[in-house]
Amino acid sequence: MSVPTADDEAPVADGGDTLLGSVPDPAGALNTTGRQLLAELVSIPSPSSEEADAVAHLAGFFAEHGREAFVDDAGNLHAPGDDSVLLTSHIDTVPGEIPVRVEDGDSELGVPGPVLWGRGSVDATGPLAAMAVVAVETGASFVGVVGEETDSRGALHLIENREAPETVINGEPSGWDAISLGYRGIVGAEYTSSTPAGHSSRPESNAIDHATAWWERVRAAVADENGDAEPGGFDTITATTESMAGGLTDDGSAVAASMSARFRVPPSATPDSVRALVESCLDEGTLSWGASIPPHVASPRGPLPAALRKGIRAAGGEPTHLHKTGTADSNLYADAWGVPVVTYGPGDADLDHAPDERLPLAAFDRAVSVLTTACEQLID
């Protein structure tokens, strides 16, 4: 086992004042250390690039419990411990305000008892808070990373500057009784085209026509590649436009068009093979590619998933394994470090980024119990 050091990092000792007074909790459900930390972190807005306040509060939590904490150059929060297992989740959320409150019961989710509403309660402040509590309880290593919802800059900095742990549990919502073994990869592209300006009565295609025609060819090629598989499934490529712009340039001399697109990469493909497929559709215009994340599928065998399954059974559940169609930092850790990596955390992933994001507190409690049992198994 190795324990990372922080010789060149600045320690962080102070967190903010408690935020619980601002969270409506008529039944007094925020009555454990974990629930309190969860509610406090959800109450601190932390969209990507604005995580500093949440980082400081989380650092204060570790300091209060006698654990060293430091912030690296990317803004990640480290609480070094036993590297038999690294517990890591992301601190940032997507933008959006959801009034933070505790409500009793939820008929839509079909659960009794208190439910915490708020941005990040599911993705991924719930897993993050559970892991922080368990790291304090068990002595496991912990890192809260920044930027996962945008460019994974926190995870990329981590793998470039930290020694590999023995195993990794990455915090994302799987449901307290499920383990996520696989995620698709992702690669992003930027298409640009420009044509001379001309009268709209002329028959020649302009840059906007080229862009839309290219995208139709891409969609057709992706459909052919996927064959009879269900669209959007784990074993398919998914092509999605993120933005598109077009029109006369400011000087009126040309028509310009641009499009930003993302492609999800299944385990049967690679970022390079998807790039080649998309580039084969290019007739006019140019493509530039951003950074990519490869797909990852973990084995259900071995001590890591077995420890989580034991924890789920001990908490009264029957474990299931998931393959998810999105992309997570776990893919980067597995690719760079070559160690066992799985993803786990409380919450219904259907509520990721949703305007009604919320987490039953009983599910959070069970996830803390599951992670505690798992870490005790993994730490010698």
- Please give the annotated binding residues, written as ranges: 90, 123, 149, 172, 353
Residue 109, burial from CB neighbour count under 10 angstroms (0-12, 13-18, 19+): middle
| Contact assessment for residue 259 and residue 244, using Cβ atoms and an 8 Å cutoff | yes
Residues 6+ apart with CB under 8 A from 170: 88, 89, 328, 329, 330, 333, 341, 342, 343, 344
Q: Is 250 a catalytic residue?
A: no
CA angle centred on 275, ends 273 and 277, rounded to 5°: 70
* CA nearest neighbour of 226 among 184, 190, 258: 184
Cα→Cα distances 368→27, 87, 123, 273, Å:
21, 12, 16, 40
Rounded to whole angstroms, how far apart are CA atoms 57 and 17?
A: 8
Rounded to whole angstroms, how far apart are CA atoms 333 and 328?
A: 10
Q: Is 50 a catalytic residue?
A: no
Tokens of 98: 């959801």
Catalytic choice (51, 72, 83, 148)? 148
- Residues tagged in the binding site annotation for Zn(2+): 90, 123, 149, 172, 353
Catalytic choice (25, 83, 92, 166)? 92
Active-site positions?
92, 148
